[in-house]
Amino acid sequence: MSFHVIEQAPARLNRSELAVPGSAPQMFQKAAESEADVIFLDLEDAVAPDEKADARRNIIKALNEIDWGTKTMSVRINGLDTHYMYRDVVDVVEQAGERLDLIMIPKVGTAADVYAVDMMVTQIEDAKGLKKRIGFEHIIETALGMQNVSAIAGASKRNESLHFGVADYAASTRARTTIIGGVNPDYSVLTDADDQGGRERHWGDMWHYALARMVVAARANGLRPIDGPFGDFSDRDGYLAAARRAAVLGCEGKWAIHPSQIAMANEVMSPSEGEVTKAQRILSAMAEAEAAGKGAVSLDGRLIDYASIRQAEVLVEKARQIAA
């Protein structure tokens, strides 16, 4: 293990993150009653320019007046390249900072962007005497943000999570797709011809590199990697497949841009009963091995060692959080 200790962000369940436009207050109560782990009230791309001020007011009122229970509450502010952003931060933190857990920063490009928001939030928290420190979630969704993802991940003690914003990332990198998430038949390989001359097409995941790169930067800095939106909410199988791919790579949550996606995210991002039982058996087997002075043993015909303990502990801890 490196001498460098990775400080972990506060442990929050973040299996599902529901996006709710700030300009649609009629959706707030239903969101509060949903099973989403995290809700972000949006001031950015789901809100038209002439609705920004109203959306801000709606969000402040809702944070103060609606009973959000134990949900983690976030607000997606506008980008640092817009003049909406400073007022988003000032008004929301000053007037609803008590109930706000996180600020989501879209299109973050450099560590200096994080520094700028950190400086503003710190001043407002101090001036208002807020006791709870507001955390940051960053959407990695531009070529610049991806280039600087490691520096962004390490840029503030407020950082909690990185999110892959596939739609803006596609636009920024000029990827040839107009769908939000999902796959593209042009990103595929052809097998060699079989005896009859037939060839098969195997579709690939065009987002693999981006997501994997973001996961590494997040984990190396103790942050939660979260997969972003899947636009076609009528395609349940497509959503599940995307969520499973993200989970396999190490993501611990996925956005829900429609309430119907919340349960799917929660299910995919929770360890199954079988996985938890297996993890508990690994921990017992390793405890026995250790007591007998051994560092590695076999369980069900497979080698397990100290690395298996760490993997098993992550699963068991996640199950404990979900049950709490």
Which parts are annotated binding residues for substrate?
76, 141
- Helices 208-220 and 236-249: crossing angle in degrees, nearest 10, is 40
Residue 314 CA to residue 293 CA, distance in Å, equals 24
Q: Which of 103, 121, 166, 218 binds ligand GLV (CB under 6 A)?
A: 166
CB 281 within 8 A of CB 299: yes
252: partner contacted, choices ligand GLV, Mg ion, none (Cβ within 5-8 A by kind): none
* Side-chain half-sphere exposure of 249, counting CA atoms within 13 A: 27
Closest CA to 42 of 58, 26, 64: 58
Q: Which of 168, 205, 227, 252 binds ligand GLV (CB under 6 A)?
A: 168
Judged by beta carbon, residue 124 or residue 246, the one nearer Mg ion is 246
CB 95 within 8 A of CB 107: no
- Stretch binding ligand GLV (CB under 6 A), from 94-102, 163-171, 266-274, 304-312: 163-171
Q: Which of 22, 25, 97, 165 binds ligand GLV (CB under 6 A)?
A: 165
Residue 145: how many CB atoms within 10 A of its CB? 25
- Stretch binding ligand GLV (CB under 6 A), from 10-18, 129-137, 166-174, 294-302: 166-174
Residue 42, φ and ψ in degrees, nearest 5: -100, 130
Judged by beta carbon, residue 101 or residue 168, the one nearer ligand GLV is 168
Residue 24: how many CB atoms within 10 A of its CB? 16
Q: Which of 88, 113, 168, 252 binds Mg ion (CB under 5 A)?
A: 168
Q: Which of 79, 145, 229, 259 binds ligand GLV (CB under 6 A)?
A: 229
Q: Which of 9, 36, 100, 167 binds ligand GLV (CB under 6 A)?
A: 167
Of 133-152, which residues contact ligand GLV (CB under 6 A)? Answer: 139, 141
- Stretch binding Mg ion (CB under 5 A), from 72-80, 140-148, 216-224, 310-318: 140-148
How many residues sit in the footprint of ligand GLV (CB under 6 A)? 9
Residue 231 CA to residue 44 CA, distance in Å, equals 17
Judged by beta carbon, residue 211 or residue 282, the one nearer ligand GLV is 211
CB 93 within 8 A of CB 134: yes
Residue 181, φ and ψ in degrees, nearest 5: 80, -175
Which residues contact ligand GLV (rule: CB under 6 A)? 106, 139, 141, 165-168, 228-229
